[in-house]
Amino acid sequence: MVEQRKYQRLDVARQPQGKFRLLTPERAYPIAAIRDLSGSGIRVFLDTLLTERLDVVLEYTEATLKLEMQGRVAWCAEQDEVEATKSAARYVVGIELFSPFLFMSMAGLY
């Protein structure tokens, strides 16, 4: 697979204190962890398989703050059993965000 990335990925060293959920038209999915982010998106761990090109909302909440960011599932891949055990989730999902820098700075991620 040829990497087509325009922006450098930044690993998330520690998870934010708030809660992240991925909202679809059908339901809300808790995000187990954030793996990394870039100038165009975010890679997260979920326990649910999502279809590519699904429009989603990434939601971040803490005691006095709620942020929502529109995005689209770029890809979703099942992890092998060893990786799933390490990350506490079965799938890794790449999400293209439509305004990532604003969202990441407000959530304290960038």
Reply yes or no on whether the pLDDT at 106 is more than 80. no
Residue 68: CATH number of its domain: 2.40.10.220
Residue 49 inside a domain? The answer is yes
Question: What's the mean per-residue pLDDT of the chain?
Answer: 78
Residues linked to residue 44 through DSSP beta bridges, in sequence order:
34, 93
Angle at 1 between CA 97 and CA 52, to 5 degrees: 40
Please state the rounded mean pLDDT for residues 28-49: 86
Residue 5 inside a domain? The answer is no
1 or 57, which is more confident: 57
In the chain, how many domains are there?
1
Please state the rounded mean pLDDT for residues 32-52: 86
DSSP 86: H
Predicted TM-score (pTM) of the model is 0.73
Please state the rounded mean pLDDT for residues 78-87: 61
CA 91 to chain CA centroid, Å, is: 11
pLDDT band, residue 21 (cuts 50/70/90):
very high
Q: Convert the pLDDT of each residue in 23-37 to its tens digit.
A: 998 999 999 888 777
pLDDT score at 87: 59
Residue 78 inside a domain? The answer is yes
> Please, how many CA atoms are within 13 Å of residue 89, restricted to the half-sphere of its CB?
20
Taking the C-alpha atoms of residue 94 and residue 110, their distance in angstroms, rounded to an integer, is: 18
Query: 48 is in which domain, residue-wise?
Result: 10-106
Distances (CA, A) of 61 to 50, 74, 91: 22, 23, 22
Residue 73 inside a domain? The answer is yes
pLDDT score at 104: 55
